[in-house]
Structures are given as structure tokens and as C-alpha cells.
Structure 1
């Protein structure tokens, strides 16, 4: 048995950060991993928000914004991260183990939230890569299923092994204590792979052009309708830019907390 005792992490600013303990780590792919940490009793967030997260690197706190992947009611906080070999933070973060301590910001925030959207019927969650993370939280929010008749999560990756949480999503969140019954009827998961053979291949843009995105079991028009469809976007800067221009051309209005609209993006990661 490993009896190593790790020294406590010194909090850089007790007013801005808490310390949390790593309770679970999973490596999905050579460039992708997820992890869970303890949740401070006072920590509250809205589904889709992000928080500053980090660790001590060279005896200094190094923090980055991470979308929270767990539902707002969960006892633990989940995160999804790429592995960047020479990344100042991820090169160290990818080596964490159960029992390690991290810094967690006290104030989650973000624009990728339901409050920034007008009422609608279909909610499309369009993600590439680790842009999946906030949608894992949103898809397990009971209020989302009260607000929309359908919740469609589209996740585009290069390789099949990058489809994190695929089993849970394909099972339509079966076993989730609060949304499993609603998700069985209202939640649809559409994974697509661009560089390997898979049942659905191609970028999200291709699925839109071929109308595959709107096929069974999705119900409604075979195109995006600003009158009833609401869109959330999370992924690479190129993807966000391309889709923002696309939806604006369709007369969708970008929303915010102050002025809800028909589509939203997380601007903290766009620059």
C-alpha cells in the first residue's frame, strides 16, 4: 500500500480560490482526459458555466478557465481536458492522481447558459473536441427538459476514441437520478468522426448540408428555424467563428445574460 503523504496545497488567495481534492481521473485518449474533484459546500454554478482551475507549477499558482462538466446538483465537479505536451498547465495536470490537490476559483461565470436564450422548442448543443464539457452539464439539467421538447447534442471529433462519455450519452443518460425519464424521450446524441470510419462521419457542417443532423429521431423541420430552434456552440475558435457567421446569416441573434437571443457561445474561450 502506498502510504505517501502529500503536503497540503498553499492557497494563493484564500478569497479567490479554494483547494479541492482529485477523486477520479480517466484517460480517454493519448490527448484527452477527464477528472473529478471534491466540491466545496459553498460552491454554486449554473449549467454551462466555467471556473478557474489550476495547480502549483514551479511553486506558483497556474490557473486556466475550465467548463464544468458535472450537473449543478452533483456532489463532485467534473472537468474534461486536452493533453498539451508542452502546455504550461496541462503538461502537469495530465499527471494528477487521486488524492492530489488543485486550486478552484470561487466564482464561476459564463455566457453559455440557458438564461441567455429565448424560449424555444429544440435546443441544439453543437460541440467539437472538449467543447463537449459544458453540454454534459446542460444535458443533465432538469430545467432544460422543461424548457425544450428536444435536446440534441452533436459532438464532432477526429477519432472514435475521443468520443468521451459516449456510453452514457448513447444510453440517453440512463441512471441519472433527475433527468433519465425525460432524457429517454427528449435527449438525442449525434456523435460524428472526421478521420476514422464510424456510423456518422464528417464535420457538423456536412451533417447540416446533407440534413443528416435533422434525421430520425430528431423531430421538426430539416433545417434550423430561428422561430423555434436555439443553439449553443462550444469548440475551437474556427468552429465558433464559422457557425456564428452561419447563424447570423440565418437571422439568428446572439444572446447574452442581459439580452437573451437565439444562439450563444462561450466568449471566454474565443478571444
Structure 2
């Protein structure tokens, strides 16, 4: 028999649908991504998050907010997750296999969307760890390339193997039929690793301060400009707090769905 436990079928609720796991990719022992079926009625904006989960030990849904990593037009929904050995949900979620049932919330939401930003020229997507997920959704959305001249994805992780989607990002989405041509001209990728040897080995805030974050934008000043730059932040609390303070000092204002601004964070993840 398979070591994979047989789980009773999940039942949908008013707030949750039951979807099928379509694929699972384990990047390393700490990180995995997976795709699930998408209901015909499910609509979301690139960058939003939704509740997903499994059945808990008490028989009730065990849920957590996850950013959708697939673009808004995709037929499947993709997610990126860490593995926590004793995590209430991730200890179970990391064992999912193709064909398993999974809960999906019916109402996606969030502020990591272009609607929450004022118009601008450069869009900086700064993420640590699984904070890359919403950026994978946004950079595969053709509309984003009409809104900004340059999109810069910055991904900070501890180890080289944590650089999920690295080959795809280094190739500037070369095989994506909807955005490959515009991404080749407008997308920049800045990976940085903090605990292993790598060509860039610093935290995001160091890259901001010494100008390396802006190395691909030679036509622009090597610093943040609140008049033309827009910034999204997702990942560790420390990075978000430190970078948000830096942006505020430069004159950036935080945006929301109700009042677009110069930068946004996901308040649902921050607390």
C-alpha cells in the first residue's frame, strides 16, 4: 500500500469549494508549490490571496491565507508554500499528491494589486521567501506591462535552493505566450541569498542603500523616486517594516484598494 494516507472526501461549504490537486513540485526540503483546479465562478485580481486548506484533526476545515501565484487568466490555481514539520496546516499540506481534495475559499482579496497603486513608470516587487508568490501572478499578467515601463522582481532567500522559479525568472518568462515579448524588454530579476555563496549576498535593504537594486534601470536614478516608482512588499515582517519606513521617509504614501498610493503591503499577513 502507498504510504500516502487515505483521506475522507471533503465537503463544500458556503464559503469553501472543494478542488482537486493537479500537480505538486518540491523545490527542496523546505519549499513546495502546487496547482489545483479552478472553479468556473472563481475570479481574482493578480496579486490577491485566498484561504486554502485541509480537514483538521477535529473534522473542521483547517485554513490559511495563501497568495495565488498563477495569473488571473490561468485555468489552474498555483500556490507556493513553506514546509513546517509541526505546522498545523503545512505539516499536512506538504504531503498532498495529485488527485487529493483541497479546500479553496470562494472570496479572494488583498492589497498587492495594481489597483491599489497610483500610475508610475517603474514597479518594484520586493519579496522574501514565499513572498515571491504574488509577484509570479503579477508578472504573468499582460496588463501590468501596459501600466509600467519596467518591472523589477527582487527575491531574497536564505539558500540558493530557495530561489523558486529561478530559471523561469532568469529567462524573463521566455516560454510564456502572453508576456514573453514584453517581459524580455521590461522585466528585471534580482535574486539575493543571505546564508550561502551567491553573486548577490545581502538583504534587500542593503541592495536599496548601495544602489544594486537599480542596476538594470540605467536610464533612471539609482534610488527610489516617489514621483515615478511604485513598490509592493511581501514576506518577512522585518523586511516589510524596515522598507516601509524607508519609503515613508522618502515621501512615499501607502496605498489601499480604497485609496491608491505609492507602495502597498498585505496587511492581512502583517497582523
TM-score, length-scaled by structure 2: 0.96
- Residue 248 of structure 1: aligned partner: 248
CA RMSD after TM alignment: 1.5
For the residues of structure 2 that align with 1:152 and 1:41, how far apart are their CA atoms? 32
Question: How many angstroms does 1:218 deviate by?
Answer: 5.2
User: 1:157-208: per-residue Cα shift (whole Å, max 9, x none)?
Assistant: 0000000000111110111121111000000011000111111111111111
After superposition, residues 65-214 of structure 1 pair within 5 angstroms as 65-214=65-214
For the residues of structure 2 that align with 1:218 and 1:76, how far apart are their CA atoms? 37
For the residues of structure 2 that align with 1:189 and 1:68, how far apart are their CA atoms? 20
- Residue 53 of structure 1: aligned partner: 52
Residue 9 (str. 1) matches residue 10 (str. 2): yes
Question: How many angstroms does 1:216 deviate by?
Answer: 3.1
For the residues of structure 2 that align with 1:22 and 1:79, how far apart are their CA atoms? 11
For the residues of structure 2 that align with 1:5 and 1:91, how far apart are their CA atoms? 16
For the residues of structure 1 that align with 2:65 and 2:200, how far apart are their CA atoms? 31
Tell me the number of residue pairs that the alignment of Structure 1 and Structure 2 aligns: 268
For the residues of structure 1 that align with 2:76 and 2:157, how far apart are their CA atoms? 26
For the residues of structure 2 that align with 1:216 and 1:262, how far apart are their CA atoms? 21
For the residues of structure 2 that align with 1:140 and 1:242, how far apart are their CA atoms? 28
For the residues of structure 2 that align with 1:197 and 1:226, how far apart are their CA atoms? 33
Poorly superposed stretches of 4+, deviation over 4 Å: 4-7
For the residues of structure 2 that align with 1:265 and 1:180, how far apart are their CA atoms? 27
For the residues of structure 1 that align with 2:218 and 2:154, how far apart are their CA atoms? 12
- Residue 33 of structure 2: aligned partner: 34
Structure 2: stretches of 5+ with no match in the other structure: none
For the residues of structure 2 that align with 1:131 and 1:80, how far apart are their CA atoms? 9
